Structure 1
Amino acid sequence: MTTLTVRGLDDDTRARLRVRAARNGRSMEAEVRAILREALSEPDAETGLGSRIAARFAAVGGIDLEPPPRGDMPRAAHFDA
């Protein structure tokens, strides 16, 4: 296990860290470990954002929607004043 010392941490950042740790029921040291673990974890390269969102909300359930029928083709924008 490695020890890391952080010097020069301003009072505001320390106070916010203390509040965040208390909110999560952890010590400040445990909160820093959790923050570093989360910040440095590599996202799963095999799934994209949409797949990760769907997986996160899969337990809630959902519905399949039919895409609306396409009518007229989109018109080009006119930038006349």
Structure 2
Amino acid sequence: MDRPWEADTGAKLWRRLGKSALEMGNTSASPSCPDIWELDNGDIAVIGRDLTAVYGDRLPPDVSIGPDERLVVIPRNMLVAAKPDIPDA
């Protein structure tokens, strides 16, 4: 399948967007998921709960999840905290 965009598996985690899960109170013992990172090529990596199976049959008609994709959910406060780090364009 020829896609206009493909993830660069050689890209490295460059900088966290927002605050860590520990800072946000979204983890109790260690700085584990969820998290949002900018990669060194500008793409974004999101670490969250894999809820692909839960939402798979509830997607709007114009949304699909490819066989090599997953729908992940993160707490709203993580994305809100990342907003200042996300460029407008």
Instruction: Give the alignment's TM-score, normalised by structure 2.
Output: 0.24
Could you say which structure has the greater relative contact order, defined with CA pairs below 8 angstroms and 6 or more residues apart? 2
> 1 or 2, which has the higher strand percentage?
2
Greater fraction helix: 1
Q: Which has the greater radius of gyration?
A: 1
